[in-house]
Amino acid sequence: MPASPFQIKVCGITRPTDGRVAFEAGADAIGLNFYAKSPRYVDAPTVEAMNLRSLKRTVYRPFHQVGLFVNASVEEIRNRVDLAQIDIIQIHGDEPPEFLAQLPRDIPLIRARRMDDRGVAAIAEDIEACRAAGRVPDAVLVDAFTPGRYGGTGETVSWAGLADHSRWLGDVPLILAGGLTSENVAEAIRIVRPAGVDTASGVESSPGVKDPDKIRRFVEAAREALERL
């Protein structure tokens, strides 16, 4: 299985306590959402106030801060990367394949794709377009398709439709997202066999507010299922 930049990510962190819970539970990464229309949006000053730098200094295992961007400019992404100590970039909008080659090459890049009725073949076509344009993402994150929405909907994707993803995506790791919870993540991993998983709404008490117990149960269930692979 191709290696992913992370195995377990808790996305949409808006409070420092939630970031610390995710780390202590054993997650590999947290996601900071810089899309202003999201209920999980955090601006740069808020990230500074959260002081996640101090958390990272205490980490003795890989632990990443992923910056999530939707149709942002290259300049905006570069600024957020510097201000928030982002070490993985995730583009989650309608960015054209040519856009990837303009982003910093020393930072891993995840391209999110919303899976519609065209299935994984359309995602594979997009990856090939990225390759032709000069940069293949380090992983592709597959989320549910909801018109006008860019993730965080709580909707699941067709796990069966992704079961043969390696035939389509080759050496590009797949990160599974979309409605994952502690109750369904093990079954999703068993069917899809992804390189990693990502959750946001599945571990919340309300949009942007994480539930510590849900985080812990999700990470435990995901880790156990990934280890079985």
Mind telling me the catalytic residues? 11, 143
DSSP secondary structure, 38-52, as one string: STTB--HHHHHHHTH
Contacting residues for 128 by C-beta, under 8 A, at least 6 apart: none
Query: What letters, b where the CB count within 10 A reaches 16 and e where it falls short, cover 85-122?
Result: ebbbbbbbeebebebbeebeeebbbbbbbbbeeeebee
**Residue type for position 94:** D
Q: How far apart are CA 99 and CA 118, in angstroms?
A: 23
Q: Helices (H) and strands (E) in the chain — how many of each? A: 9, 10
Which residue has tokens 């929405």?
A: 149
Looking at this protein, which amino acid is placed at residue 179?
G
